[in-house]
Structure 1
Amino acid sequence: MDTILNNIHEYGYAVIEDALPEGVIERLLTDCLENQPDFKAAGIGRRQDSQLNEQIRKDKTLWLTGASTAQADFMALTDELRLEVNRNFFLGLFDYECHYATYEVGDFYKKHLDAFKGKSNRVFTTVCYLNTPDAGGELLIYAQDSDEVIARVAPKAGSLVVFESERFPHEVLVAGSARYSIAGWFRMNNSIVGTIDPPS
Structure 2
Amino acid sequence: MVSLVEPISKLENHPVVDNAIDELASKGYAIVPNFINPENADYLYRYALGLKDSDWQQAGVGRADNYTTNTQVRRDRIRWLQAQDAVERAYLDTMATLQQQLNRQLFMGLFDYESHLAHYPPGAFYRKHLDAFKGRSNRILTTVVYLNPDWQVHDGGELVMYDDQHQVLQTVLPKAGTLVLFLSDTFVHEVREGHRDRYSITGWFRHNTSINGVIDPTR
TM-score range with shorter-chain normalisation? Answer: over 0.9
| Structure 1 position 19 matched with structure 2 position 35 | yes
Quote the residue 1:171 is aligned against.
190
CA distance in 2, matches of 1:50, 1:149: 28
CA distance in 1, matches of 2:161, 2:209: 26
> Structure 1: which 5+ residue stretches go unaligned?
none
Identical-pair percentage: 43
CA distance in 1, matches of 2:49, 2:86: 15
> What SS is found at the alignment partner of 1:197?
coil
CA offset at residue 101 of structure 1?
A: 0.3
Quote the residue 1:184 is aligned against.
203
| Within-5 A mapping of 1:1-200 | 1-37=17-53, 38-132=55-149, 133-134=151-152, 135-144=155-164, 146-191=165-210, 196-197=215-216
Q: Looking at secondary structure, tell me which structure has more strand per residue.
A: 1
8 Å contact from structure 1 (residues 24, 74) kept in 2 = no
Structure 1 moving runs of 4+ over 6 Å? none
8 Å contact from structure 1 (residues 123, 186) kept in 2 = yes
CA distance in 1, matches of 2:34, 2:108: 26
8 Å contact from structure 2 (residues 56, 78) kept in 1 = yes
CA distance in 2, matches of 1:190, 1:43: 23
CA offset at residue 195 of structure 1?
A: 5.8
> Structure 2: which 5+ residue stretches go unaligned?
1-16
CA offset at residue 191 of structure 1?
A: 4.3
CA offset at residue 23 of structure 1?
A: 2.7
Tell me the C-alpha RMSD between the 2 structures.
1.8
> What SS is found at the alignment partner of 1:24?
helix
> What SS is found at the alignment partner of 2:20?
helix
Aligned residues: 197
